């Protein structure tokens, strides 16, 4: 059963399109990573799924309903980001108690355990927490709610490296124990790729790809070597990224549909075959323009 279904989903802010013609489905009990650069539309999409934002056109269905302003969706969804508003009058422990009233699936022992593990002070107020501590507290609440759909928008903002690691581990362990649908957004895929099953890559509000992380890792290879040999090898192939190394040497990232013999031929021509990490591939796929940051400096030198 698919939990989220979008067809031609579009959201305009005035003249700017935050999402345009986005179509995808997310199956239940999966962890999906929503990846994209700043301004790709990740937050807009997540807020639309959570029912906070109304789409301009297209269809969206979450748990079989249009999520906008829908109580059924709200009761089964937890949306965690660093703009979550909490009442200033309650201490953290009082907050946990109050929040638990809203969620029948609330896991008291998990909340208590994580709260103690991360060393939060129960008598403190949410407004007095540091950025990383706020993210930690929001994460504890989101995990403990055991909502059928849990959405994390950039959950690790401000967390230090060890807390991040612990967070991902806690997320995975709790997910295995209580399978549910989780969406994580991040611009750092390398950090979360180990816990993800699927990936949804966005660029300028459109879908670049949606596939299992395993497939993404094998989707492309890098070829490094002489420009002529590489041109010969990649003739008619889908080139994702080209980078000048020096002189006649270039690095080309290309879709991996090479036959065994073609790869052997590459070896004979002295072309190195490189693995492309999922993280790098996403960066190449969502590049705003040809070339990289180096070209900006190279061009500047020429002028």
Partner 1 sequence: MMYLIEPNSFNILKKQYFFKLKTNFGLIFNLILFQIFAIFLSLVVKMTSSSFGMDELTFYVSSFSGNIVIGFTLIWACTVPAILTNSKIRNIDFTFVSNRFTSNISNIGLLITLSLFGSVTACLSSNLIRVLFYFISNPKSIVNEGFFVSPQYILISIISTTLYIILVMSILYFLGLLKQLTKVFIILFFAIAVAIILGFKLFSSTINFTLIDLINKVFNFYKGESSLVVFAVKVLLTALVFFSGATLISSKLEVRR
CB of 279 to partner 1, least distance (A): 30
CB of 95 to partner 1, least distance (A): 9
Alpha-carbon distance of 165 to 121, in angstroms, equals 21
With CB under 8 A as the rule, give the number of residues binding partner 1. 37
Backbone angles phi, psi at 10, to 5 degrees: -135, 140
Of 177 and 298, CB closest to partner 1: 177
Q: Does 270 bind partner 1 (CB under 8 A)?
A: no
Residues 3 to 62 in contact with partner 1, rule: CB under 8 A: 28-29, 47, 51-54
Q: Does 178 bind partner 1 (CB under 8 A)?
A: yes
Q: Does 128 bind partner 1 (CB under 8 A)?
A: no
Of 102 and 117, CB closest to partner 1: 102
69's tokens: 């302003």
User: Which of 38, 101, 235, 246 touches partner 1 (CB under 8 A)?
Assistant: 101
Alpha carbon dihedral 242, 255, 219, 167, in 10-degree steps, equals 20
For the chain, helix (H) and strand (E) counts, in that order, are 12, 13
Look at residues 154, 152, 220, 209 and name the one whose alpha carbon lies nearest to residue 181.
152
Of 6 and 63, CB closest to partner 1: 63
3-state secondary structure of 7: strand
Backbone angles phi, psi at 6, to 5 degrees: -125, 135
- Indicate the helix (H) or strand (E) that contains 1: none
Q: Does 69 bind partner 1 (CB under 8 A)?
A: yes
- Indicate the helix (H) or strand (E) that contains 231: helix 227-233
> Which of 111-119, 143-151, 200-208, 286-294 is the region at the interface with partner 1 (rule: CB under 8 A)?
143-151
Q: Does 74 bind partner 1 (CB under 8 A)?
A: yes
Alpha-carbon distance of 187 to 37, in angstroms, equals 6
User: By the criterion CB under 8 A, which residues form the site for partner 1?
Assistant: 28-29, 47, 51-54, 63, 68-72, 74-76, 83-90, 98-99, 101-105, 146-148, 178-180
């Amino acid at each position: 059963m698919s939990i989220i279904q979008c067809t031609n989903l579009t959201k305009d802010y005035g003249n700017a399109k935050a999402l345009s013609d986005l179509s995808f489905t997310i199956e239940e009990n999966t962890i999906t990573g929503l990846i994209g650069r700043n301004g790709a539309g990740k937050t807009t999409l997540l807020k639309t799924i959570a029912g906070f934002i109304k789409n301009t056109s297209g269809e969206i269905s979450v748990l079989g309903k249009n999520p906008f302003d829908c109580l059924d969706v709200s009761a089964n969804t937890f949306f965690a980001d660093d703009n979550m508003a909490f009442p200033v009058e309650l201490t953290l422990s009082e907050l946990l108690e109050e929040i638990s009233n809203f969620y029948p699936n609330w896991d008291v022992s998990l909340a208590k355990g994580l709260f103690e593990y991360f060393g939060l002070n129960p008598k403190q107020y949410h407004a007095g927490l540091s950025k990383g501590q706020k993210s930690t507290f929001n994460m504890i609440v989101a995990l403990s709610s055991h909502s059928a759909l849990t959405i994390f928008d950039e959950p690790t903002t401000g967390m230090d490296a060890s807390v991040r690691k612990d967070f991902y581990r806690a997320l995975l362990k709790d997910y295995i124990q209580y399978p549910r649908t989780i969406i994580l957004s991040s611009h750092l895929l390398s950090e979360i790729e180990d816990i993800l099953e699927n990936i949804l890559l966005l660029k300028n509000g459109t879908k670049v790809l949606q596939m299992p992380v395993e497939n993404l890792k094998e989707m492309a290879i890098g070829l490094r070597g002489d420009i002529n040999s590489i041109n010969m090898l990649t003739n008619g192939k889908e080139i994702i990224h080209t980078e000048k190394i020096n002189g006649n040497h270039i690095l080309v990232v290309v879709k991996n549909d090479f036959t065994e013999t073609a790869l052997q031929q590459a070896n004979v021509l002295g072309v190195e075959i490189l693995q492309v990490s999922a993280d790098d591939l996403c960066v190449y796929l969502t590049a705003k323009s040809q070339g990289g940051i180096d070209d900006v400096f190279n061009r500047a030198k020429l002028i």
